[in-house]
Amino acid sequence: MLTKAGRLGGTALVEHVRQLKPQIKQLTLFPSELCNYRCSFCHIWGETGWALKEPQRAIREQLDIDVLKRFLGEVTENNKNLGVIITGGEPMLYKHFTELVTYLRSRKANVYLLTNGSLIKNRVEFIMENIVALNISIDGPEEFHDSIRGKGSFKTICENIDALIQEKRRRKKMFPFINITMVLSKYNYKSVKDFMRALRERFPSESVVLHDSRNPWMKRRDLSVNLAPLLFTTPERGQAYADQMKEHLNCDVSPAWQGFVEEDIGIDTLELKRDLEELWAEEGIDTSHFVDIHDYFTDIENVFERSKCVAPWHEMVIRRTGDVYPCVDLPDYKYGNIYENSFQDMWEGERATAFRDYLRDDNLLMCNRCTRMFADAESF
Ligand SMILES: C[S@@+](CC[C@H](N)C(=O)[O-])C[C@H]1O[C@@H](n2cnc3c(N)ncnc32)[C@H](O)[C@@H]1O
Ligand code: SF4
C-alpha cells in the first residue's frame, strides 16, 4: 500500500530536494515493450493504453544488446551496486534477456524483475542465480485475476511461483524474494478481502504475508503481498500536464499520459476503505502511515505530504528505442538516446539539469499519482 510521507515530508522534503546532487542509484529498463497479456487496466496495453495506438511495427522494436551493454558498462563504471529494474511489457520477451541479466551481474548490479509471471518456468535456475527480487502481478483471486489478465493465467502463474519456491527450498536460498502485487482497480476491488485467503488456499504449505512497510522483516515469508492502488489521472489534468510540459519545458508529450486517464474511477471507495481496514485488522498490520484510500481516489490534489519527487536525482529510464527519460511511466522529456549519447553527457547534460531545476520548484501535474512520488527519499 502507498504510504504517507515519513520523516522527509512536506517542507522537510522541499529542503532536502533543494540540497540534492545528482547521484545515480537506479536504472529502469524497458528493453522491449512487447507483452503477451492485455490486462484491462494497463496503462500500456490496456483499454486506454498507448501501445495499441502505436504502429505495431514500431512496438516490435527491441533494444540492440551491444549498444545497451556498452551503455550499462559506462553507468556501472563508477556506480557499483546499481539497482536495475527490468520491466516492459513482459521483460522475459526481450530476445536478449539472459544476456542482459548476465552482463548486469558481471557488472555487480542488483537486478529486479517486474513480470507478469507467465514465462518463469523455463528460466527457474537462471532466475535463482541472478535475480534479487521478482515482483509478480496477480490481480485477485482466480476468477478476478483471469477476467483482467486472461483465462488460465492465474493457474500458470501460480505453477511458476511453485516451481521457484521449490527450487529455493531445494537450494536453501533466501533469494530471489518473491513479491506479489495486486493493482486495485474497478475490476477487482470487490475481491480484496478474499485475496489473501485465495493465495493461502493455493499455497497451503507456504507462508503468505501481507507486506507491512513499517515492519518488512517481522515475519518469515515465502510470498510477500502488496496492494497497489491504480495510478490514474483525469482528462483535464492530463491535458493540463501536456500544456505545462510545452510551456515550461518546451516538450511535446507522447500519448502515454492518456493511458492513465480514468473518466470515472468506478470504485465504491468507502466500501474499499472498509474492506481494506477489515483485512489489515485481520492481518495485524499498523496502518497509521498508509494513505487514506478514499482520499487517494477522490482527491487527486492530496499528495499525503509527499511534496516532491526525488527520482530525477537518482534514476534514469531507458525505453526500447534507446531514448532516455527521467520518468518511469511518461516517455516525454527526453535526455537523449543511448545509440548516440554517453551516460555522462545525458546525466550531467543541459536537459537533465533543466528538468531537475524545474522539479526543484514545481511539480508536474501527472506526478500526484505516480509510484516514484510515493517512494521514500531516504530509501532511494
Ligand atoms: C506495466 S507492468 C510491466 C511488468 C509486467 N508486464 C507485469 O504485468 O507485472 C508493471 C506493473 O504496472 C502495473 N500497472 C499497469 N497499469 C497500471 C496502472 N494504471 N496503475 C498502477 N499500476 C499499473 C502492472 O499491474 C504491473 O504490476
Ligand atoms: S502483463 Fe503487464 S505490461 Fe502486459 S498488459 Fe498486463 S500489466 Fe500491461
Q: In Å, what is the CA distance from 206 to each residue of 16, 90, 203, 223, 374?
A: 41, 26, 5, 7, 30
237 Cα–ligand 2 center, Å: 24
- Ranges under pLDDT 70 in the chain: 216-219
Residue 283: inside a domain, yes or no? Answer: yes
Relative to the CA of 35, which ligand 2 atom is closest?
4
Residue 342: inside a domain, yes or no? Answer: yes
Ligand 2 pocket check: which of 33, 35, 182 to mutate, most ligand atoms within 8 Å of Cβ? 35
Compute the half-sphere exposure of residue 285: CA atoms within 13 Å on the CB side of its CA. Answer: 23
Expressed as residue numbers, the domain containing 225 is 10-374
The CATH code of the domain that includes 17 is 3.20.20.70
Would you give the DSSP letter of residue 34?
-
Residue 183 beta carbon below 6 angstroms from any ligand 1 atom: yes
pLDDT of res. 218: 67
139 Cα–ligand 2 center, Å: 11
Is the Cβ–Cβ distance between 64 and 72 less than 8 Å?
Answer: no
Closest residue by Cα to atom 16, ligand 1, is 42
Residues 59-80 have pLDDT tens digits of 889 999 999 999 999 999 999 8
199 Cα–ligand 2 center, Å: 21
Residue 164: inside a domain, yes or no? Answer: yes
Residue 380: inside a domain, yes or no? Answer: no
pTM over 0.95: yes
Pairing assessment for the beta strands 110-115 and 133-137 based on DSSP bridges: parallel
Ligand number with the minimum distance to the CA of 46: 2
Ligand 2 pocket check: which of 38, 119, 134 to mutate, most ligand atoms within 8 Å of Cβ? 38
Of the candidates 280, 304, 272, 303, which has an alpha carbon nearest to the alpha carbon of residue 214? 280
Measured CA to CA, the distance from residue 138 to residue 144 in angstroms comes to 9
Measured CA to CA, the distance from residue 303 to residue 305 in angstroms comes to 6
- Tell me the residue type at 36: N
Residue 296 beta carbon below 6 angstroms from any ligand 1 atom: no
The pocket around ligand 2, CB under 6 angstroms, is made up of 35, 37-39, 42, 44-45, 88-90, 116
Tell me which residue has cell 534514469.
Answer: 316
Measured CA to CA, the distance from residue 33 to residue 321 in angstroms comes to 10
Q: How many domains does the chain have?
A: 1
Residue 129: inside a domain, yes or no? Answer: yes
37 Cα–ligand 2 center, Å: 6
Would you give the DSSP letter of residue 225?
E
Residue 3: inside a domain, yes or no? Answer: no
Is the Cβ–Cβ distance between 336 and 317 less than 8 Å?
Answer: no
Residue 66: inside a domain, yes or no? Answer: yes
Relative to the CA of 33, which ligand 2 atom is closest?
3
Number of H-type helices and E-type strands within the chain: 14, 10
Closest residue by Cα to atom 7, ligand 2, is 42
Of the candidates 347, 363, 353, 355, which has an alpha carbon nearest to the alpha carbon of residue 309? 363
Which helix (H) or strand (E) covers residue 110, if one does? strand 110-115
218 Cα–ligand 2 center, Å: 31
Measured CA to CA, the distance from residue 9 to residue 85 in angstroms comes to 26
